[in-house]
Amino acid sequence: MRIAIVGGTGTFGRALVHRLRGLDDVVIGSRDASRAREIGVIHGVAGAANEDAVREAELVVLAVRSNAAVDTARELAGAIGTTPLLSVGADLRFTDVGVLPGRLGRSLAEEIADIVEGPVAAGLQTLAAAHLVQADPPEEDALVCGDEPACGLAMDVAARLIRGRVFNVGPLANARALEGLTSVILNVNKRHRGAMAGIRLTGVP
Protein backbone atom coordinates (compact mmCIF):
# COMPACT_ATOMS: atom_id res chain seq x y z
CA MET A 1 0.00 0.00 0.00
CA ARG A 2 1.30 3.47 -0.86
CA ILE A 3 1.03 5.67 2.22
CA ALA A 4 1.60 9.41 2.23
CA ILE A 5 2.52 10.68 5.69
CA VAL A 6 1.76 14.40 5.72
CA GLY A 7 3.84 15.86 8.51
CA GLY A 8 6.36 13.06 8.06
CA THR A 9 9.18 15.36 9.14
CA GLY A 10 7.62 15.85 12.60
CA THR A 11 8.16 13.68 15.67
CA PHE A 12 5.17 11.36 15.29
CA GLY A 13 5.40 11.34 11.50
CA ARG A 14 9.04 10.24 11.63
CA ALA A 15 8.12 7.52 14.13
CA LEU A 16 5.51 6.18 11.71
CA VAL A 17 8.02 6.23 8.87
CA HIS A 18 10.54 4.38 11.04
CA ARG A 19 8.05 1.60 11.78
CA LEU A 20 6.46 1.34 8.31
CA ARG A 21 9.51 1.55 6.07
CA GLY A 22 10.15 -1.69 4.26
CA LEU A 23 6.59 -2.85 4.94
CA ASP A 24 4.74 -0.36 2.77
CA ASP A 25 5.50 2.10 -0.02
CA VAL A 26 5.90 5.18 2.16
CA VAL A 27 6.34 8.78 1.02
CA ILE A 28 7.00 11.65 3.40
CA GLY A 29 5.05 14.82 2.76
CA SER A 30 6.04 18.26 3.96
CA ARG A 31 5.50 21.90 3.04
CA ASP A 32 9.27 21.96 2.58
CA ALA A 33 9.98 19.42 -0.18
CA SER A 34 13.74 19.54 0.38
CA ARG A 35 13.26 18.76 4.08
CA ALA A 36 10.96 15.86 3.17
CA ARG A 37 13.57 14.45 0.80
CA GLU A 38 16.29 14.90 3.43
CA ILE A 39 14.35 12.94 6.06
CA GLY A 40 13.36 10.42 3.39
CA VAL A 41 16.99 9.67 2.61
CA ILE A 42 17.66 9.00 6.29
CA HIS A 43 14.83 6.47 6.44
CA GLY A 44 15.20 5.04 2.94
CA VAL A 45 11.84 6.32 1.66
CA ALA A 46 10.68 8.99 -0.77
CA GLY A 47 10.04 12.59 0.19
CA ALA A 48 8.04 15.27 -1.60
CA ALA A 49 5.95 18.39 -1.19
CA ASN A 50 2.62 17.61 0.45
CA GLU A 51 0.58 18.01 -2.74
CA ASP A 52 2.82 15.65 -4.69
CA ALA A 53 2.97 13.11 -1.85
CA VAL A 54 -0.80 12.72 -1.52
CA ARG A 55 -1.71 12.56 -5.22
CA GLU A 56 -0.55 8.97 -5.76
CA ALA A 57 -1.32 7.67 -2.27
CA GLU A 58 -3.78 4.92 -1.37
CA LEU A 59 -3.96 6.24 2.20
CA VAL A 60 -3.10 9.71 3.48
CA VAL A 61 -1.99 9.91 7.12
CA LEU A 62 -2.43 13.41 8.49
CA ALA A 63 0.32 13.60 11.11
CA VAL A 64 0.87 17.35 11.37
CA ARG A 65 0.51 19.22 14.65
CA SER A 66 -3.10 19.36 15.77
CA ASN A 67 -3.23 23.16 15.51
CA ALA A 68 -2.29 22.86 11.83
CA ALA A 69 -4.41 19.82 10.91
CA VAL A 70 -7.56 21.60 9.76
CA ASP A 71 -5.70 24.18 7.69
CA THR A 72 -3.53 21.47 6.14
CA ALA A 73 -6.57 19.38 5.25
CA ARG A 74 -8.16 22.42 3.64
CA GLU A 75 -5.00 23.20 1.63
CA LEU A 76 -4.65 19.60 0.40
CA ALA A 77 -8.32 18.69 -0.11
CA GLY A 78 -8.11 19.08 -3.87
CA ALA A 79 -4.95 16.99 -4.18
CA ILE A 80 -6.28 14.30 -1.81
CA GLY A 81 -9.55 13.99 -3.69
CA THR A 82 -11.40 10.83 -2.67
CA THR A 83 -8.33 9.09 -1.18
CA PRO A 84 -8.99 7.70 2.32
CA LEU A 85 -7.45 9.69 5.15
CA LEU A 86 -6.32 8.77 8.66
CA SER A 87 -6.25 11.52 11.27
CA VAL A 88 -3.87 10.76 14.16
CA GLY A 89 -3.98 14.14 15.92
CA ALA A 90 -5.50 15.17 19.22
CA ASP A 91 -6.32 18.76 20.15
CA LEU A 92 -4.95 19.37 23.67
CA ARG A 93 -4.72 22.19 26.19
CA PHE A 94 -1.79 22.29 28.58
CA THR A 95 -2.76 23.97 31.86
CA ASP A 96 -1.43 24.35 35.40
CA VAL A 97 -3.73 21.55 36.57
CA GLY A 98 -2.87 19.10 33.80
CA VAL A 99 -3.48 18.27 30.16
CA LEU A 100 -7.08 18.75 29.00
CA PRO A 101 -8.93 17.90 25.79
CA GLY A 102 -8.86 20.92 23.52
CA ARG A 103 -12.39 20.35 22.24
CA LEU A 104 -15.59 19.81 24.17
CA GLY A 105 -17.74 19.12 21.12
CA ARG A 106 -16.88 17.48 17.82
CA SER A 107 -13.48 15.93 17.27
CA LEU A 108 -10.63 17.16 15.13
CA ALA A 109 -11.18 14.16 12.83
CA GLU A 110 -14.85 15.05 12.32
CA GLU A 111 -13.92 18.60 11.35
CA ILE A 112 -11.40 17.24 8.85
CA ALA A 113 -14.09 14.94 7.45
CA ASP A 114 -16.19 18.02 6.70
CA ILE A 115 -13.35 19.36 4.54
CA VAL A 116 -12.07 16.43 2.49
CA GLU A 117 -14.09 14.49 -0.06
CA GLY A 118 -12.98 10.96 0.79
CA PRO A 119 -13.63 8.74 3.83
CA VAL A 120 -11.90 9.59 7.11
CA ALA A 121 -10.72 7.42 9.99
CA ALA A 122 -9.18 8.41 13.30
CA GLY A 123 -6.73 6.39 15.35
CA LEU A 124 -3.30 5.84 16.91
CA GLN A 125 -3.86 8.62 19.47
CA THR A 126 -2.78 6.31 22.30
CA LEU A 127 0.55 5.42 20.70
CA ALA A 128 3.65 7.38 21.65
CA ALA A 129 6.32 8.27 19.13
CA ALA A 130 8.96 7.20 21.65
CA HIS A 131 7.47 3.69 21.70
CA LEU A 132 7.33 3.39 17.91
CA VAL A 133 11.01 4.18 17.37
CA GLN A 134 12.21 1.42 19.70
CA ALA A 135 13.75 -1.70 18.21
CA ASP A 136 10.68 -3.83 18.93
CA PRO A 137 7.04 -2.86 18.36
CA PRO A 138 5.28 -1.77 21.56
CA GLU A 139 3.20 -4.27 23.53
CA GLU A 140 0.07 -2.18 23.14
CA ASP A 141 -3.31 -2.24 21.45
CA ALA A 142 -4.44 0.34 18.92
CA LEU A 143 -7.91 1.83 18.52
CA VAL A 144 -9.33 3.04 15.21
CA CYS A 145 -12.74 4.41 14.24
CA GLY A 146 -14.34 5.96 11.19
CA ASP A 147 -15.62 5.44 7.69
CA GLU A 148 -14.77 2.62 5.32
CA PRO A 149 -12.52 1.98 3.53
CA ALA A 150 -10.38 4.42 5.54
CA CYS A 151 -10.96 2.53 8.79
CA GLY A 152 -9.91 -0.83 7.34
CA LEU A 153 -6.80 0.64 5.75
CA ALA A 154 -5.91 2.41 8.99
CA MET A 155 -6.30 -0.84 10.92
CA ASP A 156 -3.92 -2.54 8.49
CA VAL A 157 -1.37 0.19 9.14
CA ALA A 158 -1.87 0.03 12.90
CA ALA A 159 -1.23 -3.72 12.87
CA ARG A 160 2.26 -3.05 11.50
CA LEU A 161 3.07 -0.71 14.40
CA ILE A 162 2.32 -2.78 17.49
CA ARG A 163 2.51 -6.26 18.99
CA GLY A 164 -0.96 -6.03 20.45
CA ARG A 165 -4.34 -6.05 18.73
CA VAL A 166 -6.12 -3.46 16.63
CA PHE A 167 -9.75 -2.70 17.45
CA ASN A 168 -12.40 -1.02 15.35
CA VAL A 169 -14.23 1.10 17.90
CA GLY A 170 -17.06 2.32 15.70
CA PRO A 171 -18.12 5.44 13.81
CA LEU A 172 -16.03 8.56 13.41
CA ALA A 173 -17.88 10.34 16.23
CA ASN A 174 -15.94 8.10 18.61
CA ALA A 175 -12.81 10.02 17.64
CA ARG A 176 -13.95 12.40 20.39
CA ALA A 177 -13.08 9.69 22.92
CA LEU A 178 -9.91 8.57 21.16
CA GLU A 179 -8.55 12.10 21.00
CA GLY A 180 -9.44 12.58 24.67
CA LEU A 181 -7.45 9.47 25.59
CA THR A 182 -4.27 11.30 24.61
CA SER A 183 -4.76 13.77 27.45
CA VAL A 184 -5.56 10.90 29.84
CA ILE A 185 -2.32 9.11 28.99
CA LEU A 186 -0.23 12.28 29.22
CA ASN A 187 -1.65 12.99 32.68
CA VAL A 188 -0.81 9.43 33.78
CA ASN A 189 2.75 9.86 32.51
CA LYS A 190 3.07 13.19 34.31
CA ARG A 191 1.88 11.81 37.64
CA HIS A 192 4.00 8.67 37.41
CA ARG A 193 7.40 10.07 36.58
CA GLY A 194 9.19 8.03 33.96
CA ALA A 195 5.97 6.28 32.88
CA MET A 196 5.26 5.64 29.21
CA ALA A 197 1.66 4.47 29.42
CA GLY A 198 -0.17 2.65 26.64
CA ILE A 199 -3.53 0.95 26.18
CA ARG A 200 -4.44 -2.75 26.40
CA LEU A 201 -8.03 -4.04 26.20
CA THR A 202 -8.90 -7.11 28.28
CA GLY A 203 -11.78 -9.56 28.16
CA VAL A 204 -12.02 -9.61 24.37
CA PRO A 205 -11.82 -13.13 22.83
Grade residue 11 by pLDDT with cuts at 50, 70 and 90.
very high
Nearest-angstrom CA–CA distance, 53 and 17 = 14
- Residue 24 pLDDT > 80, yes or no? no
pLDDT at position 13 over 90:
yes
pLDDT at 94 over 80: yes
For 127, which DSSP code? Answer: -
Q: How far apart are the first and last CA of the chain?
A: 29
| pLDDT value of position 86 | 98
Which domains, from first to last, does the chain contain? 2-191 (3.40.50.720)
Residue 72, pLDDT > 90, answer yes
What pTM was computed for the model? 0.94
